[in-house]
Chain A
Amino acid sequence: MARLDPLIHAPARLQVLTTLSAVSEAEFATLRAALEVSDSVLSKHVSALADAGYVRSRKGVQAGRRTTWIGLTSVGREALREHVAALRRLIDMVD
């Protein structure tokens, strides 16, 4: 049975994983713009998620400047699926 994941229970981290599920990889600045957060806030959440193996990051070049690319791992995708399923079950119980 799907369970709530404490690591992505914070809405900000759930948003990071959900947004990354729309792409294979996103540049740091693109992700920051979609989430409407500061560099430091996103960096903190990405680090926590990367430590858990939910996202991977790599250095690259975008339009001639160095940047960081971030992508969802298969572990992160499964964690997201289970967490969302658990949230939906909670909603169903309330309804």
Chain B
Amino acid sequence: METNTLQTENSQAYQLEFKGQGAEYFGILIVNAILIGITFGIYYPWARAKQLQYVYSHTTLNNESFHFSGTGAEMFKGFIKLIGMYILFLIVIVLFTQFVGSPILTGIIVYLLLFAIIPILIHGSLRYRMSRTSYRGIRFGYRGDRNELAMQFFKDLLLSIVTLGVYSSWLQMNLRAYTHRHFRYGNVSFSNEARGADYFWMVLKGSLLTLVTLGIYSFWLQKDIFNYYIHNMKLAQGDQNIEFESTATGGAFFKLMLTNVLMIIFTLGIAKAWVDMRTLKFVFSNIRMKGDIDLTAISQTEEEYKDALGEDAVDFFNIDII
């Protein structure tokens, strides 16, 4: 491992690693699959908890692992609520169609409703996921305000529609910056300086180069985006800080993705477990942390939040947030 050359007197050493192994992870996935089959799907939330627990507990910082304390029971309850809401949603749509009788208007209303719940789901999901994540017994947390997030989201969404999608870069980065700024790890707060303009030009340039190079540049674009994300994260505790840098290169991204695709194709998907593990290993081994926050002197500040509705919904709709 590379050592920090910019050591100040209080600077700490941080080492982020992912220690998951394909074979172990495969074992978990296969047992999950069988239990989901035997229970006709009811085991799914427990399977998901098991899977998340494995990934979290095999992510270590200074040899100490992270922990996901969400349970299958919590996510099952959330799922029941989700089904209930879905049925309610369908009833509203059916009634609405009966009264209005215009399929186009109904379609518009359905889309508006769906968009309207996105920020609510993101908020709920982050609160759950963060409060159920811990490190050294100290919980993470999300302190964002739901209405504030929703207002920002709708404003950006409207601008994205008006600008025919151009503004969606701002939408994504504003969402990222807002949510990250409200993350906590005990009494450590997060910040994020991601800006729509930076992202927009980066993606525009990258996409043009991808076209010119017949797709080859896409791996370097991936690298740029990844590095931008990592570079913009910061942690602060009082006047102490931790900064993040990425060491990922376009070539390494190219190698990772090419091998992943080949592994999936030649094993007919069975290698998915190994692919997931090596991808996470790649991600975590390419993050460098620098700073002077003492990780053994953090105090608990965040409360537990056990409502998994948002988490389930985000999983259900396949929305990637973190």
Asked if A and B bind, the verdict is no
Q: B-contacting residues of A (Cβ < 8 Å)?
A: none
